[in-house]
Chains A and B, each alone.
Chain A
């Protein structure tokens, strides 16, 4: 009986040691890779999304069809397949990308397609009278877009955009499949040494949860600061 107790204690001691030893080793690639990957991809995706939404809204010939095609393809194919296509597929055409830039490209394009639809919906929700008022004070179409329509639309789109940012944090774990050493890959590596899958995967899940909780808090505070529109 005593023997069993000591065994259990030793076992728990080992788990606690592994937990604390690995925590920093998982968190570090989280800070150095997962967060930059998320933030860079998200920023690029916003630019893509605004441009894609605008060419549709303004009925720009040709470009709006390209925009529809892009959204159609990206939303209709799995993110993991897109990662493989860019990282493992493109070298066949002589285009060799490092894992990190390949991941950035895929995550930007993927998130951009979804956000484009969010932003388009928000732009279309701006009342026509706002645009007419813009014309009547002498603004040009482009001035109205950038000074009236977009500022209002981005406020409306803020909650869905926050959502897609939070999704992206977790989706970056898929980059492990194309050899990006982000949090999840780092966890897998530690696990292959010590074999404690329950502990380590729960640990990395906890860190993702912390990241997302922080983002959710920031979203709530920010939303409170955005003025409520009519």
Chain B
């Protein structure tokens, strides 16, 4: 469904992505692991054009694009097929939970308001926050990330990108978000998840990509990755993480 080839990205002199290839198939749940600064988040952002890659190609279904030379029109069209969940939620501060979930439908897709609200309420119900529909983000305390997930779901995306969705959460809230994500995975949603949650990677993800220093060091099924990691560096990473 989505293939990227040879993505390169530098910020000034710092080369963050040094040629990345990878493919997302329909129904895949891919966990992207790696130490801080390995380029995971940048990779995700390049795939949704939040960062402009310096080189490489992206193929969505049958269309191929040069990442460095994409037209705004194509970016806009491709973004409508995907959704993005941010580490710090980025809920629209001037909208209620329900408006946050429906704005992608009513404004971006010109959907009728009542039809959009019906979908919005369904999505809020799915993440367990129906009773908070009229709350503004600053009144949602723990529920922000789940509203953000409902917002991502509302537009019926083909892929959802998650950028460290639990990293900004209090420990007691991480479980709620992960369980919502697990449900999505079981429903067959295609997901690419940059995460530090090894349990999620081990139990929910189907594939694991391990990044280091701007490259993919190891790519495997989740089971293989945790049972018998191939690379020395991967073993070390798992050892360190497990000790923590």
Contacts and interface: CB of A to CB of B under 8 A. Distances in A.
Interface of A: 127, 129-130, 132-140, 143, 147-148, 151-152, 155, 227-230
8 contacts: A132-B50, A132-B90, A133-B86, A134-B92, A137-B151, A138-B155, A139-B103, A151-B94
Nearest to B88: A129
8 closest cross-chain pairs (CB), A and B: A137-B104, A138-B108, A133-B90, A136-B84, A129-B90, A138-B80, A151-B94, A139-B108
B75 to A, nearest CB: 8
A143 B48 CA distance: 19
B109 interface: yes
Nearest to B82: A136
A152 B93 CA distance: 7
Contact of B90 (A130, A155, A227): A130
B225 interface: no
B94 A138 contact: no
Counting chain A CB atoms within 10 Å of each CB, the highest count among B92, B104, B151 belongs to B92
A interface SS class: helix
B165 interface: no
B79 interface: yes
Contact of A138 (B86, B90, B104, B136): B104
Interface of B: 48-50, 76, 79-80, 82-84, 86, 88, 90-94, 103-104, 107-109, 136-138, 151-152, 155
Contact of A137 (B88, B108, B137): B108
B149 to A, nearest CB: 13
**Taking each of B108, B109, B151, B155, which has the highest tally of chain A beta carbons within 10 Å of its own beta carbon?**
B108
Nearest to A138: B108
A135 B51 CA distance: 12
A148 B104 CA distance: 12
A151 B88 CA distance: 21
Contacts of A137: 83, 103-104, 108, 151, 155
Nearest to A228: B138
B94 A148 contact: yes
A132 B86 contact: yes
A136 B159 CA distance: 12
Given A133-B91, A136-B48, 12 more contacts: A127-B90, A134-B92, A135-B49, A135-B50, A136-B82, A136-B152, A137-B103, A137-B108, A143-B108, A227-B136, A230-B137, A230-B138
